[in-house]
Amino acid sequence: MSSTALGAEKAIIFISDAHEKFYYEKLKEVRYQDVYHKALVYCLGISDDTRRNINSIYNFKTGCVKTECLHEGWQTSGSLKVVRMAFNLYCNGTPSV
């Protein structure tokens, strides 16, 4: 019997081709290939706004999220939800600003 976690890795569902492309490209740029980084990149790839503003959300050199992005003008109600969800999965809770 196969593990659910291992099976889930094979069945990633992407919202669009742009989402899938973003996921595989940015996954190469993050510091580690662990489940936290995979969840972060997957979530941030859902929205066109978050894909376009990824460098305002995450610092690829330090591996830190940029919480100040929650107050930037490009954010929409939808992108805020995506960013908060990504931060929650990555940091085990939304980090404070």
Q: What is the pLDDT of residues 4-37, one digit of tens each?
A: 555 555 689 999 999 999 999 999 999 999 999 9
Looking at residue 11, its pLDDT comes to 83
Looking at residue 93, its pLDDT comes to 66
pLDDT mean across residues, the chain: 88
pLDDT range class, residue 46, cuts 50, 70, 90: very high
Per the CB < 8 A criterion, the answer to whether 72 and 23 are in contact is no
Please state the pTM of the whole predicted model. Answer: 0.83
Q: List the alpha helices (DSSP H) in 1-97.
A: 4-10, 17-27, 35-44, 48-52, 54-57, 77-91
